[in-house]
Amino acid sequence: MMLKIFLSALIIFTFVQRGISSVDAPKSGSSVSQTKDTVLKMDSIKNSTGSNTLQIDTSLNAGPQQTVEPVDTAKKIDSTFMEPVSDNVLTNTKLFIYIILSVLGLGLFFFIFVITLFKTFHKKKSTRQSLLLSWNLFFIISIIWIFIIWGLVAGFWTYPSFMIVVIFLFIISLIMTIIAVKSK
């Protein structure tokens, strides 16, 4: 009888130690091997329910997952992304033509304003005043010619640096012309 009480206490102690609240005590005629089988069955039930470790059932969340693809803002190098070459490209031939037109125009204006107008101005005004006036008029017309050739024809009028230089030279030449007219 003492053996039965000892085995029953051992089984109860084992179940309490493992955290099982309900205990099925063996009835009469149980042996130690039956007790071990019961304990092993309880351990397997315990492990399958997940009381020792936390197990996540991933089969419940089997729906389609949404993936957010980042927006690619980098510009890839590809022949389809290349900007088309505009027709207003400064080639060597165009550069040569613009230089020839500039030189021919400046030569013409030198002949008209410096040589011809100097003779005209020299008849009525002093030599110094007529020389200043003819060179200043040549300078004004030359700046306008350079703006027409290099600004409008060559397409440099969209560049701020070109426009700043042309406007600055035009203002200086106007001031010089006013000084030449006022001088004696």
In order, the DSSP letters of 19-86 are: T--------TT--HHHHHHHHHHHHHHHHHHTSSS----TTTT-SPPP-PPPP--SPP--TTTSPPPP
Residue 104 pLDDT level (bands cut at 50, 70, 90): very high
How many C-beta atoms surround the C-beta of residue 129 within 10 A? 17
**Does residue 18 form part of some domain?**
yes
User: Whole-model pTM?
Assistant: 0.49
Structural domains of the chain, count: 2
The yes-or-no verdict on residue 27 having pLDDT over 60 is no
Q: Are residues 97 and 39 in the same domain?
A: no
Residue 21 pLDDT level (bands cut at 50, 70, 90): very low
**Does residue 70 form part of some domain?**
no
Q: Are residues 97 and 178 in the same domain?
A: yes
132: containing domain: 92-182
Average pLDDT, the chain: 76
**Does residue 19 form part of some domain?**
yes
**pLDDT for position 122:** 76
**d(Cα 38, Cα 44) in Å, to the nearest integer?**
10
The yes-or-no verdict on residue 4 having pLDDT over 60 is yes
pLDDT in tens, 55-77: 666 666 656 677 888 887 776 66
**d(Cα 134, Cα 112) in Å, to the nearest integer?**
9
Helix axes 2-18, 32-49, angle to 10 degrees: 10
Q: Are residues 101 and 24 in the same domain?
A: no
